[in-house]
């Protein structure tokens, strides 16, 4: 039978922290020396993708609130896995759930949206 090391004390969950310190040194070197050198070449290629992602996330956030969250978007026609994926991406980008996110200077009034004249896509969320 192999020994049981679970009760042996450790300095931390990182053990002695050897791997963590090595990673931090590597990351500090890259951030100081490599990133500034390649940023001018990478940024033009990444910027369009970043703009598209921000556009998608802002649109998703607005729809989340206009259509009443998960169930409303599902009723609108979004597949549940798509909604989960977008919520996850939104949280990765903003750090919070779309239900809790507030965009300074932007107010969403679903009641006004749904009562305003004009063609809407989908149905208002269930009351």
Residue 121 inside a domain? The answer is no
Question: Does residue 98 belong to any structural domain of this protein?
Answer: yes
Contact (CB, 8 A) for 47 and 41: no
| 72 found inside a domain | yes
In a domain, 12, yes or no: no
Average pLDDT of the segment spanning 87-106: 95
* Structural domain harbouring 78: 46-115
Percent of the chain scoring above 90 in pLDDT? 75
Q: Residue by residue, what is the 3-state secondary structure of 3-47? A: CCCCCCCCCCCCCCCHHHHHHHHHHHHHHHHHHHHHHHHHHHHHH
Q: State yes or no: pLDDT of 12 exceeds 80.
A: no
Q: How confident is the model over 9-19, as a mean pLDDT?
A: 81
* 125 band by pLDDT with thresholds 50, 70 and 90: confident
Residue-level pLDDT at 56: 95
Other beta carbons less than 10 A from residue 86's beta carbon: 20
Domain-embedded: residue 107: yes
- pLDDT value of position 88: 95
Evaluate whether residue 97 is within a structural domain: yes
Q: Does residue 127 lie in a domain region?
A: no
Mean pLDDT of 64-93: 95
pTM of the model: 0.67
Whether residue 120 lies inside any domain: the answer is no
Provide the domain count of the chain: 1
């Amino acid at each position: 039978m192999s020994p049981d090391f679970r009760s042996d004390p450790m300095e931390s969950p990182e053990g002695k922290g050897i791997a963590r310190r090595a990673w931090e040194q590597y990351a500090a070197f890259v951030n100081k020396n490599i990133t500034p050198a390649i940023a001018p070449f990478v940024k033009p290629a990444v910027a369009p993708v970043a703009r598209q992602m921000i556009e998608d996330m802002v649109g998703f956030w607005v729809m989340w609130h206009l259509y009443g969250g998960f169930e409303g978007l599902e009723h609108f026609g979004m597949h549940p896995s798509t909604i989960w994926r977008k919520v996850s991406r939104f949280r990765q980008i903003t750090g919070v759930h779309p239900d809790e996110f507030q965009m300074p200077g932007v107010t969403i009034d679903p009641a006004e949206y749904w009562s305003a004249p004009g063609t809407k896509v989908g149905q208002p969320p269930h009351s």
